[in-house]
Amino acid sequence: MIALAAACALGACADDDPEPESLSVPAPDSDTELGKLLDDAPELVIAGEPLNAGLLRRFYARHDFEPIWTTRQAQANSLANAVWRAGDQGLAPELFHANLLWQTATLPPLDHELLLSDAFLSYADALARGAVPVERRGDDETLTPGPIDVAAVLDAAIGSPDPAAVIEALAPTTPTYRVLRQALQKYRSGNPPGGKATMNRLLEIEVNLERQRWLPRRLPADRVWVNVADERVVLYRADQAVFSTRVIVGEDVKRNQSPEFRATIEGVEFNPPWNIPSDIVAREIMPEIRRDPDYLKRNDMVMLPDGGVEQLAGPDAGLGQLMFYMPNRFDVYLHDTPDKYLFNRDDRRISHGCIRVQEPRELAALLMQKPIDTINQAIVMGGTTLSNLSPPVPVFVVYQTAFVDTDGTLQFRPDFYQRDAEIWQQLHRRSQGRNRVAQANTPNAT
């Protein structure tokens, strides 16, 4: 039953389906007290805790807007225990009303009912999509698993012999997630547990557990994996790493940071011209043209009719001699570079956001499943040509400051884009809010 519920949650939805929040929800049945409450309240707050009204409507629509937990005490206890164990997943139980779950008997019956449902639904949603889902992240953090109907999962949990296990099965099962959970337990039991270095490690582990929850539950067996924080690309075949090389990634400055996203490598473009993005033209190229009228000619660039600038193909072009064609809204690509010496640097955060690959010909040969001589010949022939991949290969650009490498070893990398702290604050947003309230109500608070 547990496996069936997990399969229903994770396998029935394609990645391009709409998010669950956008699905059509029947209007609450105004003939029931619960239906009236959900119908009348676009926002729900119980004992100072905000509830997800949309998610509750979807769940109770499956039950004709009638109470659930009055006759399911054993299931409620099992699920409440799962919420109290949320810390094992790197999640603060307070995100899911954990403190109030101890005292639900003191609440009015409908408040008690809705609080339980919201706790279980929100915990399931956090395991399935992340406690910081894509709609609450920055524009450059777009990774997300396929949509999951957590209302259906909670229903499956209620009908199973082990409700908690059904909900917890929504969490990732990747090697990195498993090892990070083990490391979380290790650092929490460390000596001294409150040392600064230990606290920093705990922050990194919790944040990167969250990043794992942003990924598809079944990663494509064949994939290109770029970890910007590691400044490295890995090619997987049948879930085994078969190639790895260094990359150059975006600068630390916000506008040039490499984003986190998924795309598909559809082909390899040989001898590509570089259509320079308009913001780079305005910020960097135009000032050079004003200082040096021969700047365009000296750099094999031409001004386009629309005011854009293109650098002509050639061995010294910015994209080098090949580019991996992977359409995406960021216009970020993997490509070659003429400046091979830059890969000797430890700090390779020097691009405008694109990913320069140290050994692009080897990667192209593996993706095209052709001898490297074929790649070399396509370049020598000259002219810009596009060779399509059959089949196309998914590519993930991630930012993981704690991860398991291809040898299964837990690795940590500096948070040079300074993204970890913001995610950690969102993971602890409710506990921080309570601390602020508590401090304000303390007589000696300043």
- One digit per residue, pLDDT tens: the chain, 446 residues? 444 344 444 443 333 333 344 344 455 555 789 988 888 767 899 999 999 999 999 999 999 999 999 999 999 999 999 999 999 999 999 999 999 998 877 889 999 999 999 999 999 999 999 999 999 999 999 999 989 999 999 999 999 999 999 999 999 999 999 999 999 999 998 766 668 888 999 999 999 999 999 999 999 999 999 999 999 999 999 999 999 999 999 999 999 999 999 999 999 999 999 999 888 999 999 999 999 999 999 999 999 998 899 999 998 899 999 999 999 999 999 999 999 999 999 999 999 999 999 999 999 999 999 999 999 999 999 899 999 999 999 999 999 999 999 999 999 999 999 999 999 999 998 755 444 333 333 333 32
Asked if residue 124 belongs to a domain, the reply is yes
CA gap 115, 159 in Å, rounded: 20
Q: Tell me if 213 is assigned to some domain.
A: no
Q: Which tokens belong to 29? A: 């049945």
Show Cβ contacts of residue 135 under 8 Å, excluding neighbours closer than 6 positions: 19
CATH code at position 369: 2.40.440.10
Radius of gyration of the chain (CA): 26
Q: How far apart are CA 348 and CA 180, in angstroms?
A: 26
**Residues in the chain, how many?**
446
Are 389 and 328 found together in one domain? yes
> What are the residue ranges of helices labelled H in 304-402?
360-368, 372-380
Do 13 and 118 lie in one domain? The reply is yes
pTM (whole model) above 0.75: yes
Q: In whole angstroms, what is the distance from residue 150 CA to residue 106 CA?
A: 27
Sign of the Cα torsion 217, 223, 228, 234 reads: positive
User: Are residue 155 and residue 264 in the same domain, yes or no?
Assistant: no
Q: Are residues 434 and 375 in the same domain?
A: no
Sign of CA dihedral 62, 68, 71, 74: positive
> Are 430 and 345 within one domain?
no
16 with 132, same domain: the answer is yes
Residues 18 and 92 in one domain: yes
Residue 319 inside a domain? The answer is yes
Burial 55-76 (b: 16+ CB within 10 A, else e): bbbbbbbeeebebbbeebeebb
Q: Say yes or no: 94 and 240 in one domain.
A: no
23 in a structural domain: yes
Q: Find residue 274's DSSP bridge partners.
A: 311
Q: 318 with 435, same domain?
A: no
What does the alpha-carbon distance between residue 399 and residue 141 come to, in Å, rounded to a whole number?
9
Is residue 308 included in any domain, yes or no?
no
For helices 109-129 and 53-61, the axis angle rounded to 10 degrees is 100
Q: Is 129 part of any domain?
A: yes
Report the interhelical angle of 109-129 vs 196-213 (nearest 10°): 90
Work out how many domains the chain is built from and give that number.
2
Judge if 55 and 149 occupy the same domain.
Answer: yes
- Examine residue 294 and state whether it is found in any structural domain, yes or no: no
Q: What tokens were used for 97?
A: 């009303």
Among 7, 151, 9, residue whose Cα is nearest residue 68: 151
Range of the domain at 167: 2-179+423-440
Residues 30 and 131 placed together within one structural domain of the fold: yes
Within a domain: residue 240?
Answer: yes
Q: Are residues 141 and 57 in the same domain?
A: yes
